[in-house]
Structure 1
Amino acid sequence: MMIRNWTMLLFVASIHVGCQSSNREDKVADSLGKETEILDTGSDEIANSSQSLENIAAIQDAYVATVDNRKAGRLDSTFFEYDCDGEKNGRVVYFSEEGQLVLIRHDYGEYSHQEYEEEYFVRDNKLFFAFEKATSWTFESGAAEGATKDDVTETRIYYQNEHAFRCLQKQYVVRSKSLENPIPEELPNKELDCQKASSSLATFQLLIARRENPTNDCLKKAD
């Protein structure tokens, strides 16, 4: 993100060196934000169906339909950006299909070394799937000059009637100078207590409220 890029440039200038899923469920969830990994499951037909999102398979199909439509440019979008006195800044994008909100994407950074990606998938104004990726990066002590280390946590939350019923998480480390970094989509998910999912729903509701008032005022992270 912009914050990291600026920090890295300052570091480079000061030292004059250069910086530099195994199953269907994992594959569906891991394709978030990766336009080359869209699954071909007849998403046009799914998108036009009125099937109830009563189980994981239905949620996955609805997710794939939205991702496929976004890739194909069939979704309309609006966005706003905000800044919290330089300590936190971000961008919120609302994607809609035929006037109906289907996806919210929120990217933001905090305190230079914290980066977040969030995607909230919507049907009939209700959240049915959320993806959150949190990255904390540092310059790696004892490694080559300019080397960084990313500690990454990805969380996937399935909702029914806006109640989380299945939550998955994976954690991994990416080193900028390593040739043996993990491949995130090949890492297994672990079951997670869904109690923490309340913050995801609260953030989604905050973003929904800001859709009607897209100012650049500070957007506070939900607790």
Structure 2
Amino acid sequence: MKKLFLISSLIIIISCKKENDKTLENDVTQEVSNSKINKDSLQLKNDLHSVDGIKKEYNLVNSKLTAKKLDSVSFDYECEERSGNVVYYSEKGILKVVKHFNADSHFSSTENYFVNDGKPYFVFKDDTVWSFDGGTPEKPETKDDITEQRFYIVEGKPIQCLEKKYTLKSSSKNNPKSENVHNKEMKNCSIDELQKTFNLLMKNKEKKGKMNCL
């Protein structure tokens, strides 16, 4: 019964995530919409020592990612009651993006690491906590509390950390859109935990199929 509830909960999480996956594609892109896109996107023509340069490079690589022009390998894992998926995106053998998704019955998280020379220069983290929010047993209503975080990294240290929070309700027809929610500077601008996770993902990048905990 517990497994059945977990499966149904994950289905709800994944359906909610589909609406929010567009965030990664349009939010930073919107910030640099007036920038010219260099055709040699994966030649790393942009300076990664500034927020503007990181945004431009992100935009170039992400255009390849969303157009499905990058090669990918992936594996799944199960760790206690949490399920996860890791995808490594590259071109000509050069790693460009690592995507890490994990979820349990009421929580899901997606971390997107944009990589140069084996190290992240930009991380987009999208967490969702869902809960029941009224309705009836036959037709329950839910809400998703979403936290998005963006980390701009130079030489292994964050130079800017942004965060936005908003709530989506299944009963509402006028839910906020991510691009309309303002970013705020994070008080604790740290990437220590993200770096630990990234190191684990890199350690397991040759894994295939399905495994246990990272």
Contact 1:169 1:190 in 2 (8 A): yes
Within 5 Å, give how 1:104-115 maps onto structure 2. Answer: 104-110=98-104, 112-115=105-108
* Residues 54-97 of structure 1: per-residue CA shift (max 9 Å, x gap): 10111011101111111223210000001124x00011000001
Secondary structure of the residue aligned to 1:216 is strand
Partner Cα distance (2:90, 2:5) in 1: 29
Structure 2 partner of 1:32: 24
Tell whether 2:1 aligns with 1:6: no
Identity level (%): 30
Q: Does 1:185 align with 2:176?
A: no
Q: What runs of 5+ residues in structure 1 fail to find an aligned partner?
A: 11-19, 21-29
Higher strand share: 2
TM-score, normalised with respect to structure 1: 0.78
- In structure 2, the residue matched to 1:130 is 123
User: Which moved further from structure 2: 100-109 or 45-54?
Assistant: 45-54
**1:41-56 correspondence runs (5 A):** 41-56=36-51
Moved over 4 A (4+): 2-5, 37-40
**2:69 pairs with 1:74:** yes
TM-score by length of 2: 0.81
Indicate the RMSD between aligned Cα atoms, in angstroms: 2.8
The change in CA–CA distance for 1:3 and 1:45 in structure 2 (over 3 A counts) is farther
Secondary structure at the aligned position of 1:140 is classed as strand
The corresponding residue for 1:154 is 148
Partner of 1:13: none
Q: Distance in 1 between matches of 2:11 and 2:60?
A: 39
Given that 2:26 and 2:179 are in contact with CA atoms closer than 8 Å, whether structure 1 keeps it comes out as no
Cα contact 1:43–1:68 (8 A) shared by 2: no
Contact 1:89 1:109 in 2 (8 A): yes
Count, aligned residues: 197
Q: Which of these residues, 121, 128, 132, is aligned with residue 114 of structure 2?
A: 121
